[in-house]
Structure 1
Amino acid sequence: MKRKKKQKDPLPLISPDGGQTVYEQNRDGTRGKLISQTQLARDIETETDESEMVGVEAIKLRREYPTLQKAWDKYKTVWHLINEQNDW
């Protein structure tokens, strides 16, 4: 006769941002595995990561690395072309 596997009770779900991001809550109360994340939550996470690319420290870094400055200049050019085109 085969033994039945004992099923664990499902872990409760938590959301620190009103449902945009949902995690399992571990038995010890800590945040567990990511269950789901909306596009808005991913965009906010990307914004946080990319915020390091602007500001005084970023300007110093671009001054130190000319290749980075050239890429930044190209990015700005494309950004302005697209935004000006959308303003028409």
Structure 2
Amino acid sequence: MAFKSEELAKAYWRDNISLVLKLLAVWFIVSYGFGILLVDVLNQFTFFGFKLGFWFAQQGSIITFVILIFVYVKRMAALDNKYEVHEE
């Protein structure tokens, strides 16, 4: 990647790290928060016949992770275009 200036490179990486931290926070909340900490509260509700806390622990965190991958790809493509470091 060739940046036009050092300031653009720093801004790019600052935005990149910010995005990664936000996505990791979402994943942490869904997998650890919903699947472990709030499991008893969520188990009062059902989802497709399963207790909601159990569902988040078994399927919800995995599905969320896959969705976050697609969000990351889309947002990074937009970030690359914004800073003009995209591939031809």
TM-score, structure 1 normalization: 0.30
Higher RCO (C-alpha under 8 Å, 6+ residues apart): 2
- Which has the larger helix fraction? 2
- Which has the larger strand fraction? 1
TM-score, structure 2 normalization: 0.30
